[in-house]
Amino acid sequence: MSTVDKRLDDAYRILSESTDVQVALERIRELYGLHHLVFHLGQTTVASMDSPFVRTTYPASWVSRYLLKGYVNVDPVVKEGFSRQLPFDWRELTLTADAMEMMIDAAQYNVGTSGYSVPIVDRTARRSLFSITSIVEESAWDKFIDTHNGEIQEIAYRMHRKALEELFGELDPMPKLGPREIECLMWTARGKDYLAIAQILSISGHTARGYLKSARFKLECATLPQAVAKAVTLKLIEE
């Protein structure tokens, strides 16, 4: 077994054995020699309000500062992370003046000089963001990401599942809609009827109606407009 495979195997064991996400973050940080780790699950409840689940190894002083200053509203990592599909280095971010101020402030709290984030979108369209930071020089950081990128992505997805287990155990309340059901609801939200949706998706009208009906049942709604509204609330689709 290679060193990379051994480390990833150790990471899987940590995620399996750890009592919660916080413990897993702390142990994986030590395993990989990272400076800090952050995990942010955006949608955690079937309700009308987004209830973020966040765990981090950042210093408590920075977490308090972040909340006090309302940095979540300008944080470029969060903004990009919950809209992107692919992993990204923080050097790719375009910073507004407010975001630049936040990043300069963060540097005073020893959060790390380099960062890398992995967005996660699961089969029910729930999103989360796993981020790592380091204080090594830029060339060493590039080498680390090049070597461990695949591992970090694997860990991110398993951390996502760990968070769901911590929150819900085996009783995850998010309705499990399939890709076609989500697509049909999305086009309904954009004003298309089932015949237009069928043409767009190259399926029969009967099949389109079937997807909409099953989506409505899974969302436990009496009408299709109610199902669309609930899907928007749950962030399964966008208006």
Find residue 116's DSSP bridge partners: 89, 132
Return d(Cα 213, Cα 217) in angstroms, integer. 6
Contacts of 196 (CB under 8 A, 6+ apart): 187
pLDDT-flagged residues of the chain (< 70): 1-4, 43-51, 170-174, 239
pTM: 0.74
Q: Are 62 and 111 in contact (CB under 8 A)?
A: yes
How would you label 211-227 residue by residue, b for 16+ Cβ within 10 Å and e otherwise?
bbeebbebbebeebeeb
β-pairing verdict for 114-121 and 53-56: unpaired
Q: According to the model, what pLDDT value does residue 46 have?
A: 43
Distance of alpha carbon 183 from its chain centroid, rounded?
20
The reported pLDDT for the residue numbered 21 is 96
Which pLDDT score is estimated for 47?
Answer: 42
* Residue 121 confidence (pLDDT): 86
CATH number of residue 60's parent domain? 3.30.450.80
Same domain, 190 and 225: yes
Cα–Cα distance measured from residue 94 to residue 100, given in angstroms and rounded to the nearest whole number: 9
The verdict on 124 and 12 lying in the same domain is: yes
Residues 141 and 190 in one domain: no
Residue ending a domain, choose from 119, 147, 168 = 168
Report the pLDDT value the prediction gives residue 48, as an integer from 0 to 100.
Answer: 37
Domain membership of residue 174 (yes or no) is no
The whole-number pLDDT of residue 176 equals 77
Q: Are residues 153 and 197 in the same domain?
A: no
Pairwise CA distance, residues 186 & 180, whole Å: 10
